[in-house]
Amino acid sequence: MSSVIFLVDHSGGKISKAAGELATFAKGVGQSVAVVLSSNPAEIITQLSAFGVDKVITASGDWDKYSSAAAAEALAQIMESEKPAAVLITSSARGKEIAGRLAVKSKSGIITDAINVDKELITTQSVFGGSTTVHSAVITGTPIITLRSNSIEAVAAPSTPTVSEFAVTISDNAKLSTVTAATPAVKGGRPELTEASIVVSGGRGTNGDFKPVEAFADSLGAAVGASRAATDAGWYPHTHQVGQTGKTVSPQLYVAAGISGAIQHRAGMQTSKTIVAINKDPEAPILELADFAVVGDLFNVLPQATQAIVARKA
Ligand SMILES: Cc1cc2nc3c(=O)[nH]c(=O)nc-3n(C[C@H](O)[C@H](O)[C@H](O)COP(=O)(O)OP(=O)(O)OC[C@H]3O[C@@H](n4cnc5c(N)ncnc54)[C@H](O)[C@@H]3O)c2cc1C
């Protein structure tokens, strides 16, 4: 059976939710091989074994300092030795940078922002603001594919992977830029926007008051997003902007409150599984996209919805 390598995202000894999803994608294609770039991989290997991983390749190094250039070099060397059918990487900014560098190094084709990859390595992408679905395949070299978070439910399948250490050589060129300090973002207890299963976003309709949006998000354990109108006005940080020039999210549930549904906003959330719109304008374009809509004032609707959810949980 052909093997599929995937790069494991991890931080502070914990694998990301996306790592479990990549493991599930890899398992769907062939033998799943996790690559862990860490000098202290024991805890990470234990977590990976919950997702049916067949093999773990670890590579030690000064990974807290190395940039994505070093990660691409390590992956290229492992790829050369393993000769996998494909390499899967998370579609984060860093993941896409590593994938691009790896594609150049290995003279391979690359597909980014896929939402699925099947047994024949045909990928699915949702493009042009979600209006078009594209199926494509790499025809040169080893397919390098980046997959969006939340595109698949990670399947729990306990396994006992074989573990081996790979001695990578990082060139001086790859060490030219290094990370001198990294300060984790203050999360405030909410899930990371691109990984959350539920996202509640607010737009210009909030008029700058995000409290009802945040309260509703917290009742659901959701992340908070925002339209560009809201972030440009300084009502919410740009890091929470969803859309063409913001983040792409694909949660199980996306709630858009006081957001009209401009094409640039849709580009970042259209692949969400269920979309709920709260808008006082029955003609707002977001309503055409929504699975469910509440036509009303978000300052009435959201507090009532929050109260109902909190009461149901009690
Ligand atoms: C190159 C480019 C890139 C862009 N990138 C992005 C991007 O990444 N993300 C993004 O979001 N936009 C982006 N935009 C901007 C985009 O075109 C829209 O201007 C923006 O999405 C509008 O935000 P909005 O829906 O919050 O505001 P509006 O379009 O003004 O809509 C506000 C909505 O709130 C409703 N409303 C008002 N009050 C209430 C209330 N009390 N209760 C309920 N509903 C209410 C209104 O009926 C209306 O539908 C981009 C634009 C360009 C040109």
Residues 131-172: tens digit of each pLDDT: 789 999 999 999 999 999 888 989 999 999 999 999 999 999
As given in the structure block, the two tokens for residue 219 are: 């009742």
pLDDT at 131: 76
One fold for 3-175 and 198-313: yes
Residues 258-299: tens digit of each pLDDT: 999 999 999 999 989 999 999 999 999 999 999 999 999 999
The ranges assigned to domains in the chain are 3-175, 198-313
What's the length of the chain? 314
- Superfamily designation of domain 198-313: TPP-binding domain (3.40.50.1220)
Question: What mean pLDDT is reported for the chain?
Answer: 94
For residues 110-136, average pLDDT: 91
For residues 1-19, average pLDDT: 92
DSSP string for residues in 234-271: TSS-GGGBBSTTSB----SEEEEES----HHHHTTTTT
Q: 3-175 is classed in which CATH architecture?
A: 3-Layer(aba) Sandwich (3.40)
Question: Residue 194 C-alpha to ligand 1 middle, in angstroms?
Answer: 20
Question: Residue 97 C-alpha to ligand 1 middle, in angstroms?
Answer: 29
Nearest-atom number in ligand 1 for the CA of 243 is 8
Please check the confidence at residue 1 and state whether its pLDDT lies above 80: no
Question: Residue 286 C-alpha to ligand 1 middle, in angstroms?
Answer: 10
Residue 258 Cβ inside 6 Å of ligand 1? The answer reads yes
pLDDT at 126: 86
